[in-house]
Every structure is written in C-alpha cells, then in structure tokens.
Amino acid sequence: MKAIILSGGKGTRLRPLTYTGAKQLVPVANKPILWYGIESIVAAGITEIGIIISPETGDEVKAKTGNGDRFGANITYIRQDQPAGLAHAVKIAQPFLGDSPFVMYLGDNLIQSDLSLFLDHFKAQKLDALTILKSVANPSAFGVAKVDEDGRVLQLVEKPKVPPSNLALVGIYFFDRIIHDAIAQIQPSARGELEITDAIQFLIDASKKVEARQLEGWWLDTGKKDDLLEANRIILDTCLTSSVEGDVDEKSQVIGRVQIGRGSKIVNCTIRGPVTIGSNCHLENCFIGPYSSIADSATLIDADLEHSVLLQGAQVVGIHQRIVDSVIGQRAHLKVAPQRPKALRFLIGDDCQIELA
C-alpha cells in the first residue's frame, strides 16, 4: 500500500499568505498542515509516500519536509507542472504507484478519525474505490455523493447546483490500481481538469466495487483564514500538552496548557492556554489569550493577542488593543503609534510592514 499527498495548487483563498509560500506549509498549532496528513498516513502503516508538488512552491515543500526520515517514511516528490485536476495528479504519479493500491490525501485537509479504520475496510471488502464522506451544511461548495443504504456509491457530482445529498467528499480516497484505467478513459471537465469524481463515476458505471464511509469526527479544510483559525483552535484544544522549555521570569503568569519552546524568553507576560509558543521567541509586557499559536523567532512587545496565529519571525510591537481572529505572516512587522484605534483585525501576508499612526 502506498500514498500520494497533493501539495500543489496556488492557495488563492489564503492570499496574501500564500503569494510567497505553499498553503500546505501554513502552520496549525505551529506545525505545517501537510505534516498532519503525513503523520496520519504513517500511523495507518503506510510509509511509501509520494508528494505532488507544483513548480512555484515545490522547492519550499521539499526543503521543509525532507525525505521522510522525521516521520518514519520514505518520501518521493512528484512534480505537477500545471494544476490540471486531482485525476491528473494520480496520472502523473502512476510510475511511482505502479500496481499498488493507494490512498490519495489532499494536503490541506485535517481529520480527527484514524485512517486505519477506513484502510481496513477497503482491504477487507476488496474494494476498487472507497470515498470518505462528511455531512455539511453547504454541499454545493463540494464534490457530493449519493449513496444507498448499504454504503454503495451511486453518483458523484462536483459542486452541484442541486446537490443529491449533503454528503461531501472529504478529500481522502482509497483506490485499487483499476483507477488508472478509469482515468485513461475520462475527458477534461468544463473547467479543463481531469476530475477524480469523473474517474470514480466511471468505476460506478462499470459496476465496480465503490463504497463510501462517513467520517464521525471533525473535518477541516484549511483553505480560508477562518478555517485555519478554527483548525488551530481544535488542534490546540484536543492535542496540546504543557511543556515549558524557555525562560519565564517571576513576573509572568502561565495558566493552563501552554507550550513554550527552547530559547524563548517570557518577560512580564500573562499567558492563558491553550497556547503554543515556538523556540527563540521574545515576549514582553504581553497578554496572550487562548487559542493562539506563535511560531519560532517571533517578537511581541506591549501587545495583546487572542485566537490568532503568528508565523515565523513576525513582530508585533506597541499594540494594547487586543488582536483577535488574526493571521500574521512570516517576518511581518506590526507597530502602532501611541494614538490608538479602537479595534484591530488582520490578515497579513509575508514580509509586510504595517504601522498604525
């Protein structure tokens, strides 16, 4: 059994953060989104992983993620020169996949459930394809499945105006090698892409064994700012353990579940968890409220922060109004003059410098 993870695309919904970087490397609880998928796949016992990368961000993904040693996996990088669809990604990965069954995982997804539960069913039933579904309030925004009472998939539709159900395709699929034959038979859709839904529908129409299982836990598609913040909140709520490796002075208060990385200095601050702070950070005269993630080498002085994400090297200085529901990009500088506005809300991209006067 092998796996492919899709880590290409332009990340348009997360701009300006993704003008200069891969959306799958944006951190949730100070860990790249992509890495959660890798860890989930390895936990299911799959260690041969191909990562589909784009020309624009592939080098960054490779440099950050490496050859897989840190995960106990062997990672092969597969370049997709243009975003021509999910089925196209499978097509270019065929030399890597060979005749092996495989799981396809969209790299900007986070799920709560154990992948091995679905993998075991896929193997036990000797399926040609298994899709994972989740009921959603807005099915028109997703690929949608219609299933019978036994879990057999009857129809798949990509972002339908009139959805046949409220069951969205989560973005994790299990396939036998026959999917390659199906992809060879389909044509590009109206948007010019080879759709994986069309390939699965081809299998359904050919009476192959295609089933669906519903996801019981949470599912997060981290493609937008609010989704990213919600993912950060849930991960901090469910996965964070306390660990203080940095230097916290006697004037500071650390309350609840808080992680502070090595080399970080906390001076006269109140930190109320769940909060994670990376290594080599400097925080002084700050309040850091729940559901905040502060990446390595960040600086906060005279600032209040809550339910927000700061990326590596960001600097926030002199802001006493509380920053909430915000994502601040790598190396961004945020500084405010003494005459302060009443409220602040930000989505700030990499390398920005903003001063409120």
Q: Which domain holds residue 244?
A: 240-356
Domain count of the chain?
A: 2
Q: Are residue 172 and residue 212 in the same domain, yes or no?
A: yes
Q: Are residue 56 and residue 16 in the same domain, yes or no?
A: yes
What is the rounded distance in angstroms from the CA atom of residue 107 to the CA atom of residue 221? 9
Given a cut of 90, whether residue 142 has pLDDT beyond it is: no
φ, ψ dihedrals at 84, nearest 5°: -100, 20
CA angle 207, 192, 221 (to 5 degrees): 75
Of the chain, the percentage scoring pLDDT greater than 90 comes to 62
Q: Are residue 119 and residue 256 in the same domain, yes or no?
A: no
Length of the chain: 357
Looking at 197, 231, 265, the residue that finishes a domain is 231
What is the rounded distance in angstroms from the CA atom of residue 102 to the CA atom of residue 177? 8
Q: Which of 44-53, 82-91, 139-148 has the lowest mean pLDDT?
A: 139-148
Q: According to the model, what pLDDT value does residue 272 have? A: 97
Are 88 and 194 contacting, i.e. CB atoms less than 8 angstroms apart?
A: yes
* Domain CATH number, residue 97: 3.90.550.10
Residue range 207-241, pLDDT digits in tens: 999 999 988 888 877 667 788 899 899 999 988 99
What is the rounded distance in angstroms from the CA atom of residue 34 to the CA atom of residue 51? 10
Q: Are residue 171 and residue 314 in the same domain, yes or no?
A: no
Residue range 1-47, pLDDT digits in tens: 999 999 975 544 444 454 445 778 888 999 999 999 999 999 999 99
* Amino acid found at 300: L
Confidence category of residue 342, pLDDT binned at 50, 70, 90: low
Looking at 179, 210, 231, the residue that finishes a domain is 231
Return the structure tokens found at 45: 């016992």
Return the structure tokens found at 321: 């109004």
Confidence category of residue 289, pLDDT binned at 50, 70, 90: very high
Confidence category of residue 192, pLDDT binned at 50, 70, 90: confident
Given a cut of 80, whether residue 246 has pLDDT beyond it is: yes
Return the structure tokens found at 150: 């036994």
Q: According to the model, what pLDDT value does residue 15 have? A: 47
Looking at 211, 231, 251, the residue that finishes a domain is 231
- Which of residues 94 and 343 earns the better pLDDT score? 94
Return the structure tokens found at 317: 């200085």
Q: Are residue 281 and residue 338 in the same domain, yes or no?
A: yes
Q: Are residue 8 and residue 119 in the same domain, yes or no?
A: yes
What does the pLDDT average to over 288-300?
Answer: 97
Q: Are residue 185 and residue 297 in the same domain, yes or no?
A: no
Q: Are residue 65 and residue 10 in the same domain, yes or no?
A: yes
What is the rounded distance in angstroms from the CA atom of residue 313 to the CA atom of residue 300? 10
Helix axes 58-65, 33-43, angle to 10 degrees: 60
Given a cut of 90, whether residue 248 has pLDDT beyond it is: yes
What does the pLDDT average to over 100-121?
Answer: 91
Q: Are residue 165 and residue 222 in the same domain, yes or no?
A: yes
Q: Are residue 92 and residue 146 in the same domain, yes or no?
A: yes
Omega of the bond prior to 95 within 30 degrees of 0, cis?
no
At residue 28, the 3 state secondary structure works out as strand
Q: Output the CA torsion sign for 235, 239, 242, 246.
A: negative
* 292-294 and 275-277 strand pairing: parallel
Given a cut of 80, whether residue 66 has pLDDT beyond it is: yes
Q: Are residue 83 and residue 173 in the same domain, yes or no?
A: yes
Q: Are residue 257 and residue 202 in the same domain, yes or no?
A: no
Average pLDDT, the chain: 89
State the virtual CA torsion across 170, 171, 174, 177 in degrees, nearest 10.
150
Q: What's the number of CA atoms in the CB half-sphere (13 Å) around residue 255? A: 11
